[in-house]
Amino acid sequence: MTAERAAAVRSLASSLRAGRTMREAAAAWGSTVPEVAQVSRRVRLGCSLGDSLEAARPFFGGDHDALSLVADLHGRAGGNAAEMLEAIARSIDQRVSGAGRAAVNAAGARLSARLVAGLPLAALLFLPGSRAPVFDPMGLTVIVAGIALCLGGMRWIGGLLPVPPDEVDEAGLLAVVIASAARSGCSVDQVLDLAAARKSGTELARAGRRHRLGLQWPDALMRSNDEALCSLGVALATPQRLGVPVAPTLDELARRRAEQLENTLERAIRRAPVKMVVPLTLCVLPSFALLALTPFLRSLAPS
C-alpha cells in the first residue's frame, strides 16, 4: 500500500511537469486506486481541490496532510509543486525501504522462535511408540494441555516481535515539505502558517498561535511540548542565525529522524529474544514435559 502511495504521488508530479495546473493534473490523475480515481471524478464534477483530495485520505493515510499542504501552498504561493511532490514520494520510498528491512529481520527472528516453540508438537509423532496409554482420560488430558501450552507459547512469542509501524513521522515529513518548498521559492513562514492552520488543536497549531502573537517560527516551535517540533525549531533557527539556506539542514533533520525510528525498531527486534525467555519457560518447556516426558514416564510405570 505504501509503495502505491509513492507511485500515485509521482504520477501527479509527472502530470504537473507536463505543463498542467494542479487542478488539471488532479482531474487527469489516472490510477487504479479507487480513492485516487474518486479525486479525479470530484474535480471534474466541479468540487474544490481540497474537498476532492479528502476522498483519498484513507489511501494516503498520514501522507495525506503533506499532499494537501503542497496543493494548498501551490495555489496560494506558487512554487514548484512537482518538486515538492517528488520530495514526498522519496520520503515514502525511504520509509518503505526501512520498513522492509525491519520486516525481514523480524520475520527471521519470528520463524526461528516459532520453530523452537513448536518442537514439543514433534513429540506427538512418537506417542504411538511410547507404549503408554494415550486415549485414556489422563493421556488425553496430558495431550490437550501440552498442545494448548505449545500453541499459547507460539502465539505469545509471535506477539513479542515488533511490527513496523504504519504511522508517518509528521515532523520529519513536514521538514521534507518545508525544504522542498524553500528550494521552490516559498518562504518557511508560508509553509508553517498553512500547516498550522490545517492542524487545529495540535501542538503545531499552538505554535502557530505563538507565532501570531509575535514569536518567530523557530522560537514558537522550540517552546512546544512536542520533542519532534522542538527539533524542527532548532533546525530552523540555526540557518536563520548563520544566514545559510534552510533546506540542507531540514533534509538532514528528516534523514536523521528516519534513521532514529529505524534504529529504534531494530533495537526492539534485537531485544525480543530476551523477552522470549518468559514464554519459553512458562509455556514451551512445560509443553515439552507433558508431550515428550510424561508418556515415557507412564510407559515405565508398572501396569
Give per-residue pLDDT as tens, 141-197. Answer: 888 898 899 888 888 887 887 776 667 888 899 999 999 999 888 889 999 999 999
Q: Say if residue 137's pLDDT is above 90.
A: no
SS3 for 171? helix
Residue 295's pLDDT is 76
Rounded alpha-carbon distances, angstroms, from residue 21 to 24, 25, 56, 64, 71: 5, 6, 19, 19, 10
Angle between helices 81-117 and 64-77 (to 10 degrees): 170
CA distance 27 to 96: 28
Q: Say if residue 13's pLDDT is above 80.
A: yes
Give me the mean pLDDT over the 36-47 stretch: 91
173 or 104, higher pLDDT: 173
**Domain ranges for the chain:** 105-165+273-300
Q: Say if residue 269's pLDDT is above 90.
A: no
Q: Say if residue 1's pLDDT is above 60.
A: no
pLDDT, averaged across the chain: 86
Residue 108's pLDDT is 76
Q: Say if residue 134's pLDDT is above 80.
A: no
Residue 124's pLDDT is 78
Give me the mean pLDDT over the 282-297 stretch: 84
Q: Using 50, 70 and 90 to split pLDDT, how confident is the model at 238?
A: confident
527486534: which residue's cell?
269
Give per-residue pLDDT as tens, 51-77. Answer: 899 998 999 988 999 999 999 888 888
**Which set of grid coordinates corresponds to residue 233?**
525549531
Residue 129's pLDDT is 66
First to last CA, the chain: 63
- Range with the largest mean pLDDT of 45-54, 92-101, 137-146: 45-54
Q: Say if residue 252's pLDDT is above 70.
A: yes
139 or 209, higher pLDDT: 209
Q: Say if residue 103's pLDDT is above 80.
A: no
CA distance 286 to 137: 19
